[in-house]
Amino acid sequence: MAYVINGTEVEHDEEGYLTDINQWNPELALEIAKGQQLEMNDERWEVVNFLRNYYDEYQVAPAIRVLTKALAKTMGPEKSSNKYLYELFPYGPAKQACMIAGLPKPTGCV
């Protein structure tokens, strides 16, 4: 299974997570989002970029509880509530946003 970007195939698993996270690029994010019936806007990019930075620093995709806490610290309370995040990513912010960010499925995603 693969996403196709400009004629290049980028492999993903049965759920849609990239097999090799190093193959990610912003264009690919748009394509993954499209597959999730989501259109990328500034708010979604904010969360996706946040996740990528978090992964870069800690080598782990944060659990939702950790994500909301960390977002609250950097973006403020109105941009970190569960309600806000689920409006952006209806099938679960940790799951969907991580997929779009090209990261593995969050550890502890139950």
Partner 1 sequence: MSNIKKFLYLNRKAPYGSIYALESLEVVLIGAAFDQQVSLAFIDDGVFQLAKGQDTKSLGVKNFSPTFRALGDYGVTKLYVEQESLSERGLTAADLMPITYEDENDGFAEKPSINVVSRSELAGIMREQDVILSF
Q: Quick one: 30 or 60, whose CB is closer to partner 1?
A: 60
69 binds partner 1 (CB under 8 A): yes
| Annotation marks residue 109 as catalytic | yes
60 binds partner 1 (CB under 8 A): yes
20 binds partner 1 (CB under 8 A): no
| Out of 35, 77, 90, 108, the residue judged to bind partner 1 by CB under 8 A | 108
| CB of 38 closer than 8 Å to CB of 96 | yes
Which range of residues in 9-17, 25-33, 39-47, 62-70 is near partner 1 by CB under 8 A?
62-70
Nearest distance from C-beta of residue 7 to partner 1, angstroms: 29
Which one from 32, 98, 109, 110 is the annotated catalytic residue?
109
Q: Three-class SS string for the chain?
A: CEEEECCEEEEECCCCCECCHHHCCHHHHHHHHHHCCCCCCHHHHHHHHHHHHHHHHHCCCCCHHHHHHHHHHHHCHHHCCHHHHHHHCCCCHHHHHHHHCCCCCCCCCC
65 binds partner 1 (CB under 8 A): yes
